[in-house]
């Protein structure tokens, strides 16, 4: 037990960062009601947390860990990792917001959301062409918020996968940035 406590004391900062990073998806998903609702919010949180752990372990194994012969070069490489990771994070955050605003609708409330598709079913196109008063929102409501009754199924699945991928990559890039920061300022 003493050996374990020494290990924890030595890596307390890393464990704190790891706990914080792994809790972040759960907080954003459940407390703020933000995140892809597919396959289920709990599953998305679990995928994100496991990915965060894998990325953090990967960076600690493969990135430089201490002073090398060329300390300036070592620090510059970590600064590049930090800048790139943060840039990727902010691009993905912007992309996630755009995708969420344009391709997700409340079904019927924000607690229950669904993805739109990008190709309408032929029968829906005909309804829209025949009735100028009909809107996508009315069609979705009439379909009881089931996107597969309005859009081609493969397009709904594509949008769901895209939103989920952007979400995961966003958190994983944030993890890379945190890891680079911890390498720079141990």
As a three-state string, the secondary structure of the chain is CHHHHHHHHHCHHHHHHHHHHHHHHHHHHHHCCCCCCCCCHHHHHHHHHHHHHHHHHHHHHHCCCCCCCCHHHHHHHHHHHHHHHHHHHHHHHHHHHHHHHHHEEECCCCCCEEECCCCECHHHHHHHHHCCCCCHHHHHHHCCCCHHHCECHHHHHHHHHHHHHHHHHHHHHHHHHHHHHHHHCC
For the chain, the domain total comes to 1
What does the pLDDT look like over 127-150, one tens digit per residue?
999 998 898 899 999 999 999 999
pLDDT-derived band at 90, boundaries 50, 70, 90: very high
- Domain with 55 in it: 2-32+39-184
pLDDT-derived band at 36, boundaries 50, 70, 90: confident
151 has pLDDT over 90: yes
pLDDT-derived band at 179, boundaries 50, 70, 90: confident
| pTM summary value | 0.84
């Amino acid at each position: 037990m003493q050996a374990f406590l020494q290990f924890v004391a030595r890596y307390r900062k890393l464990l704190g960062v790891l706990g914080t990073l792994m809790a972040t998806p759960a907080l954003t998903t459940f407390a703020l009601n933000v995140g892809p609702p597919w396959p289920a919010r709990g599953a998305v949180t679990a995928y994100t947390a496991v990915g965060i752990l894998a990325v953090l372990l990967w960076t600690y194994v493969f990135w430089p860990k201490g002073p090398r012969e060329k300390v300036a070069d070592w620090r510059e490489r970590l600064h590049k990792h930090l800048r790139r990771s943060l840039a990727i994070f902010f691009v993905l955050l912007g992309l996630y917001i755009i995708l969420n605003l344009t391709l997700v609708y409340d079904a019927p409330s924000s607690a229950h959301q669904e993805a739109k598709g990008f190709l309408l079913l032929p029968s829906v196109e005909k309804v829209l062409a025949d009735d100028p008063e009909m809107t996508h929102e009315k069609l979705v409501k009439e379909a009881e918020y089931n996107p597969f009754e309005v859009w081609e199924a493969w397009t709904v699945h594509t949008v769901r996968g895209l939103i989920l991928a952007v979400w995961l990559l966003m958190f994983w890039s944030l993890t890379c940035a945190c890891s680079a920061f911890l390498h720079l300022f141990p």
